[in-house]
Chain A
Amino acid sequence: MEKTVNQKAWFLILPVLLLVAFSAVIPLMTVVNYSVQDTFGKNEFFWVGLEWFEEMLGSDRMWDALGRQIMFSAIILTIQIPLGIFVALNMPKSGFWSSFCLVMMSLPLLIPWNVVGTIWQIFGRVDIGLLGYTLDALGISYNYTQNSFAAWATIIVMDVWHWTSLVALLAFAGLKSIPDAYYQAAKIDQASRWAIFRYIELPKMMGVLMIAILLRFMDSFMIYTEPFVVTGGGPGNSTTLLSIDLVKMALGQFDLGPAAAFSIMYYLVILLISWVFYTVMSNLDNKGA
C-alpha cells in the first residue's frame, strides 16, 4: 500500500506547542535572559555574563535562606513521613469508618493555601486566636510575631496539619494493596507486630512512600503562601524561606537580575536533590534483586 505523505499533520501539534511555549518555555527563558543582563531603566539591557550568579553565590542572604529552607524541609519530612505512616497503620481498613477517616483526612488538602495561612494566623493570635489565647492563658510564652521559635513552631505545625494527610493517604493505599495471605503467613510464622511492619508493610509501602517523600520534599522546599501569610518571613528574617526571600528580592526590591540568577539556582537545587534522592531510593529498591 502506498504510504500517504501529508506534512499538514504537523499543524495538529501546533496548539500544544503554543501552550507549552507560553506556559513554560517563554517564562523560563525570560528568567534566563534577566539573569545574564543588567539594566539602568528605560528598558535598556546589557550583557553581564555570570556576574549575578557570582554575586548571589557570595551573598550571605541566599545562603542563610537556603539553610533555613533545608532545615524546614528536613523537619517537615522527619515529622510527616513517620506520622503519616502511623496514621495509615491505625486507620480502619474497611467499612464506614474507613471512608469517614479518608474524607476527614482529605479535607485539609482541599483548602486553598492562603486560607490555610489565614486560619493559622488567626488561630495563633494571642488576643483572639484559640491556640494563642489558650497557650497564653496557660502561662506559656507564645507569640509568633516576636519570638522566632514560636514562629517556626507555628509554620511547622501548620504544614504538618495541612500535608500529613497526603502521606497518610498514600501510605494507606500502599497498605491496602497487601494481600491478606501475607498477614496470615506472618501469624503462622509468629512474627511480632514490629516484624510485620518491618518485613511486610514497610517493603510493600516503599513505592508509594518514595513518591510521598519526593512530593513532600519538593512542595516544602518551594513553600511560599502559608508561611508568608502567617509570619511574612519574620520576626526579622527568621522564617524567610527561599521563595519568600526570592519574592522580596524580585518584587520588593525589583532586583530582577539577582532574583533571576537566584531562581535558576533554586530550580537547579530542587532538581538536583530530587534526582539524587530518586536515584538513591531506586538503587536501594533494586539492590540484591
Chain B
Amino acid sequence: MAKITLDNLAHAYYPNPKSEDDFALKELNHDWADGEAYALLGSSGCGKSTLLNIISGLLHPSQGRILFDDHDVTHATTADRNIAQVFQFPVVYDTMTVRDNLAFPLKNRGADPSYIKQRVQQIGQMIGMEAMLDKRARGLTADAKQKISLGRGMVREDVNALLFDEPLTVIDPHMKWELRTQLKSLHHEFGHTMIYVTHDQTEALTFADKVVVMYDGRVVQIGTPQELFERPEHTFVGYFIGSPGMNVIPAEVSGNLANVHGASLTLPRGYASLTGKVEIGVRPEFVMLTAGEGLPVTVRRVEDVGRHKIVRAALFGNDINVVAGEGQEISPDMTRISFDPAHVNVYVDDWLTQGEAA
C-alpha cells in the first residue's frame, strides 16, 4: 500500500516527440492517495492503459518521475514495484490447474506453502470457483478465466497497488455486478490503493471514491462522482458523464448575461470579457420545458426510458436534450425552455471558467 505520485509524467510511443500531439500521454502531475479507489474513465485510445502500464512498470515513460511513498521508482522493474494488475482479456496459465494459477504469484515470491494453501482457498471462494480449484485452466470459459485473472491479481495481500485494466469486459452482466461488489469489499477490507480503468461510466461511478476522467492523453478532471456531475471542468466530462450528456450551447457572455442567438438569460455569476470559443453547459436534468418564458425550441421527439422522459429538441438548429419527470405532461404548446440558473456553467475553449458572484 502506497501513495503514488506522478511528477511531470508524459509518454510518447515514438522517439523524439516534438509537439504535444506526439504524446500519447500528456504532461501530468498527480497524487494517488494511499488506500483510495480510483476509476480512470475515458473513451478508447485516450491514454488510460498507457498510464496504467507506466504505473506498473510495463512501460517506461518518456519523461517525468513516478514515486511510491516518495521513493523514486521510475526505473524500477515491475517486480520491484510489487504491483498487481489485471488485464482486459483473461490471461491464464493453460497447463496449470486453477489452484496453481492462483498460487503462482505467491510461489514466485517464495511464500510459505501453508499460507499459500489457505490464501488460495480464500481467493477461490471469493471468485466463486472453490469447486473448480483442481480443474485445468485450459478448458474453462472466458469469464471463468477472467475470474482466475482477477483472483491472481488479488492473491497477494502486500501489494503497493491493484490496477485493473477494464477487467470486466468479458464477464456477463450479473457476474460483473457481483465481482465489482467483491472488489469494493476487498478494498474496504485491505485498503489497497486501487486504480480501475474503464470506459463504462456506471462502472466508474459505482466503483470509485474518485473518478479521473481522461481525454486525448490528458487528465481533464479528478473528482467525486457528484463533482463530475455538477461541475464538469471540461466539456468532454459533461458530455461523457451522464445520460444523455450535458448540453453545450454556443453563446456570448458579458457580465452576468449570456446571449444565445439573440435571446438572453441571466447567469448566477458575472464574467469578465471572455475571448475564444465561449459556450454554456447545462445538464438535461436542469433544463425545463415550459409553455411560458424562455428560449424557443422545436421538440423533435420524446423518449420514455422508464424512470424519466428524454425530450430531444432543437435550439436554433443545435441539438438540445431535456430530462422531464416521468409524471410530467408534455403538451404541444411547450415550445420554450428555461435553465436552472445555479447549474449553468460557462466554458471557454472547452474549459470551465469560474465567474465572480454577481
Contacts of B93 in A (CB 8 A): 199-200, 203
Q: A181-B87, A199-B95, A203-B94 are in contact. Are A188 and B56 (CB under 8 A)?
A: yes
Q: List 24 A-B contacts (CB under 8 A).
A: A179-B89, A182-B91, A184-B87, A185-B85, A185-B149, A185-B152, A188-B78, A188-B85, A189-B105, A189-B152, A190-B78, A190-B105, A190-B108, A190-B109, A195-B108, A199-B93, A199-B96, A200-B93, A204-B94, A287-B136, A288-B135, A288-B138, A288-B139, A289-B138
Contacts of A185 in B (CB 8 A): 85, 87, 91, 149, 152
Contacts of B91 in A (CB 8 A): 181-182, 184-185
- Measured between C-beta atoms, what is the minimum distance from B126 to chain A in Å? 18
Flag whether B104 is at the interface (Cβ < 8 A). yes
Question: Ordered nearest first, which 9 A-B pairs have the shortest CB separation?
Answer: A288-B136, A289-B139, A185-B91, A189-B105, A187-B78, A199-B93, A190-B108, A181-B87, A190-B79
Q: Complex formed: what's the CA distance from A190 to B105 in Å?
A: 7
The residues in B between 92 and 147 inclusive whose CB is less than 8 angstroms from any CB of A are: 93-97, 104-105, 108-109, 135-136, 138-139
A interface, over-half SS: helix
Contacts of B108 in A (CB 8 A): 189-192, 195
Q: Complex formed: what's the CA distance from A200 to B109 in Å?
A: 18
- Measured between C-beta atoms, what is the minimum distance from A250 to chain B in Å? 47
Q: How many residues of chain B have a CB within 8 Å of chain A?
A: 30
The residues in A between 37 and 80 inclusive whose CB is less than 8 angstroms from any CB of B are: none
Contacts of A191 in B (CB 8 A): 104, 108
Flag whether B2 is at the interface (Cβ < 8 A). no
Contacts of A189 in B (CB 8 A): 104-105, 108, 152
The residues in A between 272 and 289 inclusive whose CB is less than 8 angstroms from any CB of B are: 287-289
**Besides A189-B152, A203-B94, 9 other A-B contacts (C-beta < 8 A):** A184-B85, A184-B91, A188-B58, A189-B105, A190-B108, A203-B93, A288-B135, A288-B139, A289-B139
Contacts of A190 in B (CB 8 A): 78-79, 105, 108-109
Residue of A nearest to B136 (CB): A288
- Measured between C-beta atoms, what is the minimum distance from B181 to chain A in Å? 24
Flag whether B83 is at the interface (Cβ < 8 A). yes
Flag whether B84 is at the interface (Cβ < 8 A). yes
Residue of A nearest to B134 (CB): A288
- Measured between C-beta atoms, what is the minimum distance from A215 to chain B in Å? 24
Q: Complex formed: what's the CA distance from A195 to B100 in Å?
A: 13
Contacts of A182 in B (CB 8 A): 91
Q: Complex formed: what's the CA distance from A179 to B87 in Å?
A: 12
Most buried by B among A181, A189, A203, A289: A189
Contacts of A204 in B (CB 8 A): 94
Contacts of B53 in A (CB 8 A): 184
Q: Complex formed: what's the CA distance from A4 to B46 in Å?
A: 60
Contact status A187-B58, CB under 8 Å: yes
Q: Complex formed: what's the CA distance from A165 to B83 in Å?
A: 39
Q: Complex formed: what's the CA distance from A288 to B104 in Å?
A: 19
Contacts of B105 in A (CB 8 A): 188-190
Residue of B nearest to A287 (CB): B136
- Measured between C-beta atoms, what is the minimum distance from B66 to chain A in Å? 16
Mark each residue of chain A from 160 to 197: 1 if its CB lies under 8 Å from any CB of chain B, else 0.
00000000000000000001011011011111100100
Q: Complex formed: what's the CA distance from A182 to B85 in Å?
A: 12
Contact status A188-B83, CB under 8 Å: yes
Contact status B95-A188, CB under 8 Å: no
- Measured between C-beta atoms, what is the minimum distance from B186 to chain A in Å? 17
Most buried by A among B77, B95, B105, B153: B95
The residues in B between 142 and 164 inclusive whose CB is less than 8 angstroms from any CB of A are: 149, 152-153
- Measured between C-beta atoms, what is the minimum distance from A281 to chain B in Å? 14
Contact status B136-A289, CB under 8 Å: yes
Contact status A187-B89, CB under 8 Å: no
The residues in B between 68 and 93 inclusive whose CB is less than 8 angstroms from any CB of A are: 77-79, 83-85, 87-89, 91, 93
Residue of B nearest to A202 (CB): B95
Q: Complex formed: what's the CA distance from A96 to B84 in Å?
A: 35
Contacts of B96 in A (CB 8 A): 199
Contacts of B89 in A (CB 8 A): 179, 181
Q: Complex formed: what's the CA distance from A182 to B94 in Å?
A: 11
